[in-house]
Structure 1
Amino acid sequence: MKDAETLVVGVLVNPYAGIGGSVALKGSDGANTREEALRRGATQQAPARMTRALASLAGLGNVKLFTWAGAMGEQSCVEAGLPCEVVGESSMPSSPDDTRMAAKALQQAGVELLLFAGGDGTARDLVDAVGLSLPVLGVPAGCKMHSAVYAVNPEAAGGLLHELATGHLVALQHAEVRDIDEEAFRRGEVRARHYGELQVPAEARYLQQVKCGGREVEDLVVTEVAAWVADAMEDDTWYLMGSGSTVALVMEQLGLENTLLGVDAVFNHEVVAADLGATELMDLIGDQPARAVITVIGGQGHLFGRGNQQFSPELIRRLGKENVQILATRTKLNTLEGRPLLVDTGDAALDASLCGLWPVTTGYEDQILYRVATDGSVNS
């Protein structure tokens, strides 16, 4: 695309995407879940994440934005300082039907690319609404983002959009959308199936990969990782045990019950509280010594921002980088093919401060240094 031509972009936000993450609801699908999240003090994050993505377009005169009224897109455009044309509106709170209706209307308005903020549920809605007939790009804002249609963070989405607007050649590819059973997910079961495909700009350093499910092949090595962590636990220190099967094995080594897809608080080798949200974790640890034990999402490489939003920016700052222990076998890291581990906490300044080399526990008394970044480039 030449600079003189106009790139017409549709902007669509699911304003309630991810609202259950920080309060340990492990999803945001359904009106009852949304109401419970709001009752627990959760706030909308998706509009602000879309604003971060749109910031890359400031000063470009060859981009025209069409959007939906209010929190479903218009708010983000206004906050980014970008003019936009509102195609329609929905009553609040919005529903999946509203997302599908808005997507179809934006396509009919002539957008060439649909930039959307949401999670796997939103991606499913777009499969139903536009399928492969319109290129889309996801700004990650949900609790569960197993699908391969999302940028690694809002700034990466903005960077890819900027490349399109400034004439860079960007290919298209079909990317998988995963359907996650949210009720099973809350019970600690990951039931994912192929739901469909969407067209996305194909630039690997900006896009996350499909999440790889299942237990690490090297069972013995994972057990050794878990054993070392369990043996090294100190008294009078809070351990915030993150989600995932590797951390679950640490809890098994300790003989403790575990919330597979939640965050549990361990103190003096006992589970004091289970499946906690961000505010509960902050209140619980106070100013006492505390550490987080987390693992890497297989295939994607995310540390924060995918299924563990209970580790809020405030909590991560409270802990400090030196009190975050990452667990992953060398085999799991090798599946990244040199790509860095990723952080997408919702706070761009915090993400930047977390970049660099981190120690990763890969076996019993065995650690390696591995790079953490905010985009998926091999040379990050």
Structure 2
Amino acid sequence: MLTLGLIINPYAGIGGAVGLKGSDGADIVAEAMARGAERKAALRTRQALDVLSALKERCYFLTCPGEMGADVLTGLGFSYRLIDADIPQVNTSADHTRLAAQAMLDEGVDLLLFAGGDGTARDICAVVGDTLPVLGIPAGVKIHSAVYGITPTASGEVVRSLLEGGLVDIKEAEVRDLDEDAFRNNQVRARHYGEMRVPQTGHFVQAVKQGGVEVEELVLADIAAFICADMDDDVLYLVGSGKTTQAVMDELGLENTLLGVDAVLNREQIGTDLTADEILALLAKYPQAQAIVSVMGGQGHIFGRGNQQFTPDALRLLGKKNIRLISTKTKISALNGRPLIMDSGDPQLDKDWAGTIEITTGYRDQIVHTLV
């Protein structure tokens, strides 16, 4: 089951229909209300979540009180829990959006959904940056940021694909916002405020040949080239078993243990065919470490099949964020929507890591997939 964060800016888009060209700031909101503006952010959020109505048992929400989330989820019958933050039922502000985003970042939701416009995206970005997958439900006057679905329903479709185990790319997308005061004077001044990581409906786009079939050798070369280019100095890399990870060792020009775990530091091999105890000893010596592992074809296991040298103790020392999972999209697609599997031998660890995980599927190309 995935944990989804939900933040609604109830005033998003309120100034559009009454000619105010935005809704940033308490004064603009008050003027919009005085002109008879209607709040539509909740409606647009419902349009997005309606797409998930048949998948309620696959997701759980963390949200804010009242009009910032709970009201919509209650009306649609989704299960949810309120965040532990001082947020009122009504009369909320951008400060409350940032407070909610911080609470959800601290909780580690699998995906943060938010309804708003460019101002809301700025507030979310200022807190979470590129550390948490996010997806916007378009509800604002200004939608220049690339973090939103093209429609509320489109945003819901992306989440549905994720819940159903489909191929979902995850890419960095820009957050941009216009100067509203300048815009009201017919001047367009856009500013870049950062990037956030945004899931997008997956598709075969690289190393393809006739009908979207991946050429495995080319894809593995792309994956290996990116992993090696992204390696940092003085970081221990534990390279797991399999043909996919072998491509990384080949790219480095190092000997590979096909059915074992090798250790690399500063692009030099410092261990081959490591035992569980040897891995623990290296992790004690090198606290900055990552594991590069692949997906078992046909089954979807990432631990517990072929990588048993990574014991629960070693995985806890590494932490989920330091697992670099690599695979071709063809291999993930062959799972037919089934989730990836944690079988570490420690049920509590498997439960703690359940949710989603990013998979490198090419050069600067990642997808996000469910993990149980």
Which of 124, 132, 153 is 2:151 aligned to?
Answer: 153
Q: 2:168 is matched by which residue type in structure 1?
A: V
- Within 1, Cα distance between the matches of 2:149 and 2:2? 19
- Within 1, Cα distance between the matches of 2:105 and 2:164? 22
| Map of 1:116 onto structure 2 | 114
| Map of 2:38 onto structure 1 | 43
| Map of 1:216 onto structure 2 | none
User: Can you list the C-alpha shifts for 1:108-147, whole angstroms capped at 9, x where unaligned?
Assistant: 2231100000000000001101000001000000000011
Q: Does 2:61 correspond to 1:65? A: yes
The root-mean-square deviation of aligned C-alpha atoms, in Å, is: 1.4
| Map of 2:75 onto structure 1 | 79
- Within 1, Cα distance between the matches of 2:200 and 2:78? 26
Q: Does 2:175 correspond to 1:177? A: yes
Indicate conservation of the 8 Å contact 1:52/1:80, yes or no: no
| Map of 2:26 onto structure 1 | 31
Q: Does 2:136 correspond to 1:138? A: yes
SS at match of 2:54: coil
Please identify the structure whose Cα radius of gyration is greater: 2
User: Can you list the C-alpha shifts for 1:75-110, whole angstroms capped at 9, x where unaligned?
Assistant: 111222212111145233211111000011122223
Q: CA deviation at 1:204?
A: 7.9
Q: Does 2:166 correspond to 1:168? A: yes
- Within 1, Cα distance between the matches of 2:72 and 2:197? 23
Indicate conservation of the 8 Å contact 1:70/1:89, yes or no: no
| Map of 1:90 onto structure 2 | 87
- Within 2, Cα distance between the matches of 1:81 and 1:185? 40
- Within 2, Cα distance between the matches of 1:29 and 1:200? 23
- Within 1, Cα distance between the matches of 2:44 and 2:75? 11
Indicate conservation of the 8 Å contact 2:169/2:199, yes or no: yes
Indicate conservation of the 8 Å contact 2:142/2:177, yes or no: no
Percent sequence identity is 50
Closer, same or farther: CA 104–140 of 1 in aligned 2, 3 Å: same
Q: CA deviation at 1:179?
A: 2.2
Indicate conservation of the 8 Å contact 2:168/2:202, yes or no: no
Where do 5+ consecutive residues of structure 2 fail to align?
A: 204-372
Correspondences of 1:250-265 after superposition (within 5 Å): none
Aligned length: 200
- Within 2, Cα distance between the matches of 1:151 and 1:142? 12
User: Can you list the C-alpha shifts for 1:273-332, whole angstroms capped at 9, x where unaligned?
Assistant: xxxxxxxxxxxxxxxxxxxxxxxxxxxxxxxxxxxxxxxxxxxxxxxxxxxxxxxxxxxx
- Within 2, Cα distance between the matches of 1:80 and 1:133? 29
Indicate conservation of the 8 Å contact 2:112/2:133, yes or no: yes
| Map of 2:341 onto structure 1 | none
| Map of 1:19 onto structure 2 | 14
- Within 1, Cα distance between the matches of 2:187 and 2:103? 36
- Within 2, Cα distance between the matches of 1:41 and 1:89? 29
- Within 2, Cα distance between the matches of 1:48 and 1:75? 11
Indicate conservation of the 8 Å contact 2:51/2:157, yes or no: yes
Q: CA deviation at 1:193?
A: 1.7
- Within 2, Cα distance between the matches of 1:190 and 1:183? 10
Which of 125, 128, 136 is 1:127 aligned to?
Answer: 125
Where do 5+ consecutive residues of structure 1 fail to align?
A: 1-5, 206-380
Q: 1:54 is matched by which residue type in structure 2?
A: L
| Map of 1:52 onto structure 2 | 47
- Within 1, Cα distance between the matches of 2:149 and 2:174? 13
Indicate conservation of the 8 Å contact 2:167/2:201, yes or no: no
- Within 2, Cα distance between the matches of 1:31 and 1:98? 13
- Within 2, Cα distance between the matches of 1:204 and 1:172? 8
Indicate conservation of the 8 Å contact 1:68/1:89, yes or no: no
User: Can you list the C-alpha shifts for 1:247-276, whole angstroms capped at 9, x where unaligned?
Assistant: xxxxxxxxxxxxxxxxxxxxxxxxxxxxxx
SS at match of 2:154: helix
Q: 1:90 is matched by which residue type in structure 2?
A: I
Q: CA deviation at 1:202?
A: 2.7
SS at match of 2:51: helix
Indicate conservation of the 8 Å contact 2:114/2:136, yes or no: yes
Correspondences of 1:179-218 after superposition (within 5 Å): 179-203=177-201
Q: 1:144 is matched by which residue type in structure 2?
A: K
With normalisation by structure 2, the TM-score equals 0.52
SS at match of 1:59: helix
Q: 2:81 is matched by which residue type in structure 1?
A: E
- Within 2, Cα distance between the matches of 1:133 and 1:114? 11
